[in-house]
Amino acid sequence: MDRILVPVDGSPLSRRAFEIALEEHPEAELVALHVIDPTEPGYSVVGHENADELEPRRGSAEWYDRARELADELFAELSELASGAGVELTTETVVGRADREIVDHAVGSDADAIFLGSHGRSADAHLLGSVTEAVAFRAPVRVCLVR
């Protein structure tokens, strides 16, 4: 595999998917993608169970700024892991609906595979989270789900 897309949202399973991609494909170009989704804030690292009670208000310019800061912090952690494995990491943050952005990015970047967690932070997720399910069924490339 030449290029692997790893969507990351700050959840333990997205981190584990990243670690597995690093371990199993150290020769591949890894692309960590974080989607800031104002319609589904639980997906983003800004997400919180009581997102409407947090400041800044969801969707405000300050909220987007904070989301980007948190994505940068997440990327710093992942870059350190990649560097320790001798792998150069490409990172990208986009705004939109997570499932669509992940599939579109996989297609647009000629990814050979997508490695992602089976669900985000939701403890009550069934087998797959909604974003993961949509990506798994719509992606035109191999999808590796990590549980």
pLDDT of residue 57: 77
| Model pLDDT, residue 38 | 85
Contact 6, 33 (CB under 8 A): yes
Are 132 and 3 contacting, i.e. CB atoms less than 8 angstroms apart?
Answer: no
Residue position matching structure tokens 């997508």 = 114
Peptide bond into 26 cis (omega under 30): no
* pTM of the entire predicted model: 0.86
Block mean pLDDT (10 aa), the chain, length 147: 95 95 95 90 54 66 91 96 94 96 97 90 64 94 94
- Domains present along the chain, CATH in parentheses: 3-146 (3.40.50.620)
